[in-house]
Structure 1
């Protein structure tokens, strides 16, 4: 559980930093647009990419904290043992989805954009860097769900 707390702390800090950079970026965009009457060319694109990172990394963080949205109609009708079994099955379904869609699919997306040498128009950074957050987030979600199953934190 010590590792999980460290991962939570690093992930929470990273999200706070990304949000801070995003706020400063948007404030700069508003300032240059209205005060200087010449909008900054990169701020819109940077805000978009930071929002993607916050959304995807935030999903992993919320998954780790077990604060994600859940429909509890079925678990509420089961006894304690049935609820535990259902939660294990649900965690395995989440693991399979994260592996297939986020990790494997994300790695393919990163590979394709890297191979095609696609870069962002304003920032001129490789799009593979932007998309790399998808498999990273998938790995984090898998780690959290496996940790829940192993430590019986269901």
Structure 2
């Protein structure tokens, strides 16, 4: 099971890194297109700014999962669960779970466990103004990135401790 977790985490990380890079390139090209259309043709497109914003959201959250996997995420106290005691691993896991649990919960449920008041359901009832995209497609990255972070956490916690 440990090997499967590490392999799955590594493959998902490669996919996230590739998608984050593509989103950043797409964002840069979209902004350049907007500048070119605005000043070159004096006719700016209505959808380019919106697309760049959505690509930035996806790139940022996918990039955050890659940073977490590589232990490059910003921390207040540096705790490396790979070479610390069981107590440090438990504290590390709890802090990640305490942070991600409410986010995942409110992605799907609202007050009183009402599914229709959850973030994704409310987003699915809205369309973006410039592109006509269902906003749930944009917001889907939030629970997806949280799930990827949990996968990376499980893989990190199942690594063997360094010899002390």
TM-score tier, shorter chain, comes to: 0.7 to 0.9
**Normalized against structure 2, the TM-score is what?**
0.80
Conserved 8 A contact 1:95-1:141 = no
Q: Of 72, 96, 120, which aligns to 2:77?
A: 72
State the partner residue of 1:40. Answer: 45
Considering fraction of residues, name the structure with more helix: 1
Give, in angstroms, the shift of residue 16 of structure 1.
1.0
Q: Of 77, 81, 97, which aligns to 2:99?
A: 97
Equivalent runs, 1:1-154 vs 2, <5 Å:
1-72=6-77, 85-101=87-103, 103-107=104-108, 108-114=118-124, 117-152=125-160
**Normalized against structure 1, the TM-score is what?**
0.84
Alpha-carbon RMSD: 2.2
Q: Secondary structure at the match of 1:118?
A: coil
Aligned equivalents of 1:133, 1:9: Cα separation in 2: 16
Which runs of structure 1 show a deviation greater than 6 angstroms over 4 or more consecutive aligned residues? none
Which consecutive residues of structure 1, in runs of 5 or more, have no partner in the other structure? none
Conserved 8 A contact 1:120-1:126 = yes
Q: Secondary structure at the match of 1:141?
A: helix
Conserved 8 A contact 1:104-1:135 = no
* Pair 1:134–1:41, CA change in 2 (3 A): same
Give, in angstroms, the shift of residue 99 of structure 1.
2.5
Aligned equivalents of 2:107, 2:141: Cα separation in 1: 8
